[in-house]
Amino acid sequence: MGIAENIRSIKNELPPQVKLVAVSKFHPVEALQEALEAGQTVFGENRPQEFEKKAVALEGRGIEWHFIGHLQTNKLKMVLPYASLVQSVDSLHLLDAINEWGRKNGKVIPVLLELHVAAEDSKQGFYEEEILDVLFRAESYGNVCFRGLMGMATNTDCEEDIRADFGRIRACFDYLRDLFPEYEDFTELSIGMSGDWRIALDYGATIVRIGTAIFGPRVY
């Protein structure tokens, strides 16, 4: 199937309130153009340089850009001018730097806090109690808007393990929303990728991040 068809068939299955982020990393600008022509307007990238290049190349096309990768603080200027949402805030150091960049540039940066749950050591993210600490001090981040949580399930074929991971992320999300009802913008739960987005819907995903199932395999 082609890109346009893939997007249409995924959108057919997605509840209307769930946002589809087309993860276009490693794919050329032409592939994004094809997706745009099929009506896809939200794209996700995970490498700052590639993100900036594509954002500049496709400026004025009405794209909503999400950054979904590990972000080093010396690369903020490649990402923050273009990102509608930074989904992958995974450390206090990064959060502080984003807030400082926002202060200097007169902007409020919408972010998701990345929750570490997957079994792989390589997965980045905060632990539950760290996120709790951040939100208790949310007032001190005047140039960041906390929009919710992002998480990744363990990369496995075992559906039970995936459900356990998504269940933990959802439980953390519900707990935080109950604890901080005053943070009315904290509404987004970004879970689900090509292999597990249908499962993620059972756990209340509001955003799914889908690459391979739209664009095909990545050539690294």
Ligand X SMILES: *Cc1c(COP(=O)(O)O)cnc(C)c1O
Spatial contact of 64 and 35, defined as CB atoms under 8 Å apart? no
**Which tokens is 7 given?**
């997007």
CB of 123 to ligand X, least distance (A): 9
- Distance in angstroms (rounded) separating the CA atoms of residues 84 and 144: 12
CB of 46 to ligand X, least distance (A): 5
CB atoms within 10 A of CB 104: 9
Residue 25 found at the interface with ligand X (CB under 6 A): yes
CB of 7 to ligand X, least distance (A): 13
**Could you give the angle at the alpha carbon of 150 between the alpha carbons of 57 and 96, nearest 5°?**
80
Total residues interacting with ligand X, rule: CB under 6 A: 13
Give the Å distances, CA to CA, from 92 to 45, 48, 115. 22, 19, 13
* Beta strand pairing call for 109-115 and 144-151: parallel
- Using CB under 6 A, pick the residue from 32, 55, 68, 153 that binds ligand X: 68
Name which of residues 197 to 216 contact ligand X (CB under 6 A).
209-213
Name which of residues 26 to 55 contact ligand X (CB under 6 A).
46
- Residue closer to ligand X by CB (options 69, 102) is 69
CB atoms within 10 A of CB 96: 14
Residue 72 found at the interface with ligand X (CB under 6 A): no
- Residue 196: DSSP 8-state: T
**Could you give the angle at the alpha carbon of 190 between the alpha carbons of 188 and 192, nearest 5°?**
150
Residue 23 found at the interface with ligand X (CB under 6 A): yes
CB of 23 to ligand X, least distance (A): 4
CB of 139 to ligand X, least distance (A): 28
Name which of residues 143 to 202 contact ligand X (CB under 6 A).
193-195
Residue 7 found at the interface with ligand X (CB under 6 A): no
Residue nearest to ligand X (CB): 211
- Distance in angstroms (rounded) separating the CA atoms of residues 171 and 178: 11
- Residue closer to ligand X by CB (options 68, 149) is 68
* Binding residues vs ligand X (CB under 6 A): 23, 25, 46, 68-69, 193-195, 209-213
